[in-house]
Structure 1
Amino acid sequence: MLSERETRRLHEIELQFRLNDPRLVRRFAVLHQVVPTSPRAGGLLAGLAGAGSRSVHGAGPLPSALLALSLLVLLAGAIAVNVPAVIAGTVLAAVALATAATVSRPRPGTA
């Protein structure tokens, strides 16, 4: 959380941008329309405050289980100095992360 002094200074900087570079402000306004902000974000730079970010946690149990399995395979391959096992663990980790990135689950509270 910002102090009152920091918040005031941030608003002063925002006002200076609005007065001195309206083209930049319009660009951020367009970005804000393309990438909606989170309810906690605000101000001129709110469109870049992590809005629209995705989380692997929201993808469900399958990618997490695949990632855990891949880490076990990688560890076993490293201990046994088995290159094919390490490659298999790496490929399995990539599949787990690709699965997590492509699974779309609705967020709670959104319709």
Structure 2
Amino acid sequence: EKGCPSNKPCTNVLCPEPFECVDLWNEFECTCPDGFRPQGVECLNENECEWSPCENRGICIDYADERRYECVCPAAFTGLHCELHLQESGFITPSRDFILAVASCLLLLLCKYSDL
């Protein structure tokens, strides 16, 4: 839980390669690093491009290391997932999906804290 100290269960744990120890708050688990999934005694690359993270016709490149994946954006877009539209003036304008996501979050926060 937040604010509660953990007993640092990974301190003396050596997970077999390629697994790494993850602190689950007073418990531990030997698991694969982010971007990989366990299969037997191995960690296999998880192809993040399968869930199509790149927007606006960006091209996804999957990496089998800590980079995980990269979106190569078309000329008029930028951002981690090609979610930001570059206007001719050079200013960044958020995409419709980005604006909807931010508006949804703000609405949820407003509803949650309006009862206080």
Calculate the TM-score normalised by the size of structure 2.
Answer: 0.23
More strand by share: 2
Q: Which protein has the larger Cα radius of gyration, Structure 1 or Structure 2?
A: 1
More helix by share: 1
Structure with greater contact order relative to length (CA < 8 Å, sep ≥ 6): 1
Calculate the TM-score normalised by the size of structure 1.
Answer: 0.23
